[in-house]
Amino acid sequence: MFRNVLPGIENVDWYGILSLLIFFTFFTFMSIYVWRMKRADIQVLENLPLEEENQLNNTKNENIGK
């Protein structure tokens, strides 16, 4: 079936390479991004659901990303 169908698609030889590239690039960048996130930032982010709902609580977020 591979032999019958795939040659029917124009430039099909690029499909496999392209998928691999997309995967590789995407997950590499994501892993690097995740790995390099600062511990302090992570702490703020993971605590977002735990903040008391009706308190003034944005103040400690001010420094993220700087």
Partner 1 sequence: MTTQLNSDNMNVERFQYDNKIVKYFMIASVVFGVVGMMVGLIVATQLFIPEFNPLGQYTGYGRIRPLHTNAIIFAFVGNAIFCGIYYSLQRLLKARMFSDVLSWIHFWGWQLIIVLAAVTLPMGYTTSKEYAELEWPIDILITLVWVVFGINMIGTMIKRRERHLYVAVWFYIATWVTVAVLHIFNSFELPISILKSYSVYAGVQDALVQWWYGHNAVAFFLTTPYLGLMYYFLPKAANRPVYSYRLSIVHFWALIFIYIWAGPHHLLYSALPDWAQALGVVFSVMLIAPSWGGMVNGLLTLRGSWDQVRENPVLKFMVVALTCYGMATFEGPMLSLKNVNAIAHFTDWIVGHVHIGGLGWNGFMTFGILYWLVPRMWKTELYSVRLANIHFWLGTLGIIFYALPLYFSGFAQGLMWKEFTEDGFLRYPNFLETVTSIIPMYITRAFGGLLYLTGTLVMIYNLVKTAQKGSFVANEEAEAVSMTPMGHGDNFWHRALERKPILLTTLSLVVILIGGAIEIIPTLLVKSNIPTIATVKPYTPLELHGRDLYIREGCVGCHSQLVRPFRHETERYGEYSKAGEYVYDHPFLWGSKRTGPDLHRLGGKYPDSWHYQHMLEPTLISPGSIMPAYGWLFDQNVDTKDLKAKIAAMRTLGVPYAEGYEEIAEQDFWAQADKIVANLKKDGIEANKEQEIVALIAYMQRLGTDIKLKEQTAVVQ
Residue of 17, 31, 32, 38 interacting with partner 1 (CB under 8 A)? 31
Residue of 13, 15, 21, 24 interacting with partner 1 (CB under 8 A)? 15
Closest distance of CB 35 from partner 1, Å: 8
Q: Which of 41, 42, 47, 33 is nearest to 64 (CA)?
A: 41
- Asked if 8 is part of the footprint of partner 1 (rule: CB under 8 A), the reply reads yes
Instruction: Say if residues 32 and 38 touch (Cβ distance below 8 Å).
Output: no
- Asked if 58 is part of the footprint of partner 1 (rule: CB under 8 A), the reply reads yes
Q: Computed over its alpha carbons, how large is the radius of gyration of the chain?
A: 22
